[in-house]
Amino acid sequence: MASAGKELSLSPGLLYRPGLLDRAAQENLVEQIRAIVERAPLYVPVMPGSGRPMSVRMTNCGPLGWVTDKERGYRYQPTHPVTREPWPPIPAVLLDLWREIAGYGKDPEACLVNFYADEAKMGLHQDRDETDFSAPVLSISLGNTCLFRIGGLLRTDRTRSLKLESGDVFILGGEGRLCFHGVDRIYPGTSTLLKAGGRINLTLRRVNP
């Protein structure tokens, strides 16, 4: 891992661990993601109903993956929507990280891999497609810095913005598990980790109790 030091609780259940992963750990993760994307290619998810494409590209690893399409909407499923193959397994280093810091007895079932090109965004939303809200959502940032926005349990609650940098870990757990959050912008050229630019976000989730 890396520095066990800094740990900021923004509000109950929201834990920010800036710089938790050192450069070597980040490079190792990028290599693992590269292998995952070879087997489970990135695809463009679309909004339920409208079919409007999102700006991020997406894939998953783990027994379950989060997917969305025009007809069936948001859900978890065991196979890639394009290749129909099972998702690749979650890398051991990610399972280790979860076991060390998630504070939850069971392993994650899903690791959503979101790739943000420098123009991509993610609207304010809640992660609420899981059946187990007692498990936290653990988020890892790799590559270019983003402007992350986090609010409360209501869409209209006041939000705060913070920059998430490569190697930062953010945990939504406890009272913060269902907080609205999103990505307002990517800052191009702020990291040398991904040679082609952009940002990768990994979110580890427990889906079922």
Partner DNA sequence: AAGTCACA
Partner DNA sequence: CGGC
Q: Which of 69, 118, 129, 132 binds DNA (CB under 7 A)?
A: 129
CA distance 58 to 40: 10
Decide: is 126 part of the binding site for DNA (CB under 7 A). yes
To 10 degrees, what angle do helices 92-101 and 23-39 make? 130
Q: Which of 6, 23, 106, 125 binds DNA (CB under 7 A)?
A: 125
Which of these ranges, 22-30, 84-92, 122-130, 157-165, lies near DNA under the rule CB under 7 A? Answer: 122-130
Q: Among residues 107 and 184, whose Cβ is nearest to DNA?
A: 184
Check: CB of residue 76 under 8 Å from CB of residue 67: yes
Nearer Cβ to DNA (25/124) = 124
Cβ neighbours, 10 Å, residue 144: 24
Give residues 156-185 in contact with DNA (rule: CB under 7 A): 182
Beta strands in the chain (DSSP E): 8-11, 14-17, 57-61, 65-67, 75-77, 110-116, 122-125, 137-143, 146-150, 160-164, 169-172, 181-186, 199-205
The CA-CA-CA angle for residues 38, 39, 41, to 5°, reads 65
Choose the binding region for DNA from 14-22, 29-37, 48-56, 185-193 (rule: CB under 7 A). Answer: 48-56
CB of 182 to DNA, least distance (A): 6
Judged by CB under 7 A, does residue 52 bind DNA?
Answer: yes
Beta bridge pairs of residue 199: 116, 143
Contact between 72 and DNA per CB under 7 A? no
Distance CA 180, CA 14 (A): 12
Nearer residue to DNA within complex by CB, 152 or 182: 182
Strands of 62-126, DSSP E: 65-67, 75-77, 110-116, 122-125
- Per rule CB under 7 A, count of chain residues that contact DNA: 20
Applying CB under 7 A, which of residues 4, 123, 153, 160 lies at the interface with DNA?
123
For DNA, the binding residues (CB under 7 A) are 47, 49-50, 52, 54-55, 66, 68, 74, 112, 121-127, 129, 155, 182
